Amino acid sequence: MANRIQRTFLSAALLCVVASLSPAVAFADARGDTSAREGSAREGAAATILTPQVERRRISESQIKGSNIEVGAFAGVISIEDFGSSAIYGARVAYHVSEDVFFEAAVAQARAGDTSFETLNPGVELLRGSERDFRYYDMSVGYNLLPGEAFVGGNRAYNTSFYLLGGAGSTRFAGDDNFTVSIGAGYRVILAKGLTVRLETRNHVFDLDVTGRNKTTQNLAWTLGLGGYF
């Protein structure tokens, strides 16, 4: 008795497995043609396992999706010379020309704090209102100096690269536009699916005459950014 129930269930299960292997089988099964069922099941299974589905068509490079553009946003801290440290945030777009070189455009903004002189002398204001806004744009060339991998634990590895950046742009601060040269370096970690995390430090150098004499200022920024390849 138990044997018969087992046989019934097993043959029903076998039928289900065979039917799921090929749509042709289901069709044959509906007609109740047992020999056709077995034959096409074997062919169907063989086709799924052995023959790669290579279509007969020409493939050109333009059909492969390109992802040379990296877009991202960043935030961090900038030390504006004489005006203390402030929060900075911005956005950037990079175009990767080769595995080594990329071009990048960035915009960012911060709001300058008080100078020590202003803190010690209440009521004194060197800059008014929007003059304290620190905004810049720049265009840079980057070089991926040290590509490699970072390991987290025993089984996880992320692609990384240490890169150098150099560029030029313009900074609007104290109500004026100032020609700015920037140099920096950063560390890019590529997470899954082209998501990137970038830790970067950059020095923005420009001449400023807000304190009465023209002097070259060094404005160092540390930022952490999140981006993706498109």
Partner 1 sequence: MRGDVRRRRVGILGLLCALLLASLGQTAGADELVVTVADPFIELRTGPGRGYPVFHVVEQGQPVTLIQRRTQWVEVRAPRGHQGWVSRAQLGRTLDGTGEYLALQERSLSDYFRPHGEFGVGVGELAGTTSLTVQGGWAFTDRMRLELAWTQANSDFASRRLLDVSLSALLAPRRRVSPYVLVGTGRVKVTPRTVLVNADVRNERSVQAGAGVRAYLTRSFIWRAEYRHYVFLTDKDDNEELEQWRTGFSVLF
Cβ 7 to partner 1 shortest distance, Å: 37
Closest CB to partner 1 among residues 24, 105: 105
* Cβ-based neighbours of 118, under 8 Å, separated by 6 or more: 124, 125, 126
Cβ 222 to partner 1 shortest distance, Å: 20
Closest CB to partner 1 among residues 19, 144: 144
Question: Between helices 23-31 and 34-50, what is the axis angle to 10°?
Answer: 180
Site residues for partner 1 per CB under 8 A: 52-61, 63-68, 71-73, 91, 95-100, 103, 130-131, 139, 144, 146-149, 157, 159, 161, 168-170, 174-179, 190, 193-195, 209, 214, 226-230
Closest CB to partner 1 among residues 10, 71: 71
Closest CB to partner 1 among residues 6, 159: 159
Cβ 43 to partner 1 shortest distance, Å: 20
Phi, psi angle pair for 94, to nearest 5°: -125, 145
The secondary structure of 141-189 as a DSSP string is EEEEEEEEEEEETTTEEEEEEEEEEEEEEEEEETTEEEEEEEEEEEEEE
